[in-house]
Amino acid sequence: MKNTPRFFTIGEAAKRCGVATSTLRFYESKGLIHSIRTHGNQRRFLAATLRTISVIRAAQKVGVSLEEIKLALKALPDGRQPTQKDWVKMSKKWADTLDQRILELQRLKGNLDSCIGCGCLSLKSCQLFNPNDEAALNGTGPRYLIDGAPKKQE
């Protein structure tokens, strides 16, 4: 005998995942999760979707963007919901990304520390404007006057 899939209303799904119903509508509008509609046009979520919601919430808590999460979910074969094994893989990849961000933030914090109490905002010596004298790589002389202002970091 075949198992009948279990469905949840938006309220039930929200309660089980510890999120607001508006969050689920938002995730759905962004294509992160999907529901089916009843004849009365009410949403119903498959039980497996609750796992996807949990993955999204966990990833968001460590700063993974919705766009990155969407890409990871899209990469799953046949559009299936993430399994425990998938989550292990995703979390490993995101942990590596997080490590890189932490290193970058520590570097920026170090640069900012050298500015505290200074106030010079010098293109020549301020690490925020010219980290590690990168302007020197473009040649000698006033590189920002010759080449234009340095590109802002995103």
State which of positions 94-123 bind ligand FES (CB under 6 A): 114-115, 118-122
Judge whether 29 and 22 are in contact, CB under 8 Å.
no
Indicate which single residue of 10, 19, 76, 126 sits in contact with ligand FES (rule: CB under 6 A): 126
* Count of chain residues binding ligand FES (CB under 6 A): 10
Of the pair 40, 119, the CB lying nearest ligand FES is at 119
DSSP secondary structure code for residue 5 in this structure: P
Least Å distance, CB 128 to ligand FES, is 5
Distance CA 141, CA 110 (A): 27
**CB-based burial of residue 21 (10 Å sphere; 0-12 exposed, 13-18 middle, 19+ buried)?**
middle
Contact letters for ligand FES, residues 59-98 (x by CB under 6 A): ----------------------------------------
Least Å distance, CB 116 to ligand FES, is 8
Distance CA 67, CA 56 (A): 11
Q: Are strands 36-37 and 7-8 parallel, antiparallel or unpaired?
A: unpaired
* Sites of contact with ligand FES (CB under 6 A): 114-115, 118-122, 125-126, 128
